[in-house]
Copies of this chain bind each other. A is one copy, B any other.
Amino acid sequence: MGNQKSAAVGLQRTVAENLKERRLRLGLSQEEFAEVCGYHRTYIGSIERAERNITLSTLDALARALNVPPNELLRENNG
Protein backbone atom coordinates (compact mmCIF):
# COMPACT_ATOMS: atom_id res chain seq x y z
CA MET A 1 0.00 0.00 0.00
CA GLY A 2 1.45 3.46 -0.96
CA ASN A 3 2.95 5.40 1.91
CA GLN A 4 0.38 8.21 1.59
CA LYS A 5 -2.51 5.69 1.44
CA SER A 6 -1.38 3.78 4.55
CA ALA A 7 -0.91 7.06 6.42
CA ALA A 8 -4.46 8.14 5.57
CA VAL A 9 -5.82 4.75 6.74
CA GLY A 10 -3.83 5.34 9.94
CA LEU A 11 -5.76 8.57 10.46
CA GLN A 12 -9.03 6.76 9.72
CA ARG A 13 -8.10 4.25 12.44
CA THR A 14 -7.36 7.09 14.88
CA VAL A 15 -10.80 8.62 14.23
CA ALA A 16 -12.41 5.17 14.50
CA GLU A 17 -10.85 4.50 17.92
CA ASN A 18 -11.62 7.98 19.29
CA LEU A 19 -15.19 7.90 18.00
CA LYS A 20 -15.92 4.47 19.53
CA GLU A 21 -14.29 5.38 22.87
CA ARG A 22 -16.21 8.68 23.14
CA ARG A 23 -19.51 7.07 22.05
CA LEU A 24 -19.17 4.31 24.67
CA ARG A 25 -18.28 6.91 27.32
CA LEU A 26 -21.65 8.51 26.60
CA GLY A 27 -23.26 5.06 26.92
CA LEU A 28 -24.70 5.24 23.39
CA SER A 29 -25.16 2.34 20.98
CA GLN A 30 -24.16 2.91 17.33
CA GLU A 31 -27.88 3.16 16.54
CA GLU A 32 -28.55 5.78 19.27
CA PHE A 33 -25.47 7.77 18.27
CA ALA A 34 -26.40 7.60 14.57
CA GLU A 35 -29.77 9.10 15.44
CA VAL A 36 -28.13 11.96 17.40
CA CYS A 37 -25.95 12.99 14.47
CA GLY A 38 -28.39 12.19 11.66
CA TYR A 39 -26.46 9.39 10.00
CA HIS A 40 -27.41 5.75 9.40
CA ARG A 41 -26.19 3.14 11.92
CA THR A 42 -24.31 1.24 9.21
CA TYR A 43 -22.41 4.42 8.25
CA ILE A 44 -21.32 4.91 11.88
CA GLY A 45 -20.28 1.25 11.97
CA SER A 46 -18.14 1.65 8.83
CA ILE A 47 -16.44 4.77 10.27
CA GLU A 48 -15.69 2.83 13.48
CA ARG A 49 -14.13 0.05 11.35
CA ALA A 50 -11.84 2.72 9.78
CA GLU A 51 -13.39 2.06 6.37
CA ARG A 52 -14.35 5.65 5.61
CA ASN A 53 -12.24 8.54 4.35
CA ILE A 54 -14.64 11.06 5.91
CA THR A 55 -14.73 14.79 5.16
CA LEU A 56 -14.41 17.79 7.49
CA SER A 57 -18.21 18.25 7.56
CA THR A 58 -18.73 14.64 8.71
CA LEU A 59 -15.93 15.00 11.28
CA ASP A 60 -17.62 18.19 12.51
CA ALA A 61 -21.04 16.51 12.80
CA LEU A 62 -19.54 13.57 14.76
CA ALA A 63 -17.64 15.93 17.09
CA ARG A 64 -20.78 18.02 17.72
CA ALA A 65 -22.82 14.91 18.55
CA LEU A 66 -20.08 13.87 21.02
CA ASN A 67 -19.78 17.45 22.31
CA VAL A 68 -16.00 17.53 21.76
CA PRO A 69 -13.86 19.80 19.55
CA PRO A 70 -13.19 18.20 16.12
CA ASN A 71 -9.42 17.92 16.70
CA GLU A 72 -10.15 15.62 19.69
CA LEU A 73 -11.20 12.92 17.19
CA LEU A 74 -7.78 13.13 15.50
CA ARG A 75 -5.83 12.82 18.76
CA GLU A 76 -3.25 10.02 18.47
CA ASN A 77 -3.79 7.32 21.12
CA ASN A 78 -0.21 6.45 22.16
CA GLY A 79 -1.50 5.06 25.52
Contact = CB atoms under 8 A, between A and B. Distances in A.
B53 A11 contact: no
Number of identical protomers: 2
Interface in A1-16: 4-5, 7-8, 10-12, 15
Interface residues of A, number: 25
Contacts of A45: none
22 contacts: A4-B60, A4-B61, A5-B57, A7-B60, A7-B61, A8-B55, A8-B57, A8-B60, A8-B61, A11-B57, A11-B70, A53-B55, A53-B56, A53-B57, A54-B55, A55-B55, A55-B56, A56-B59, A71-B71, A71-B72, A71-B76, A74-B74
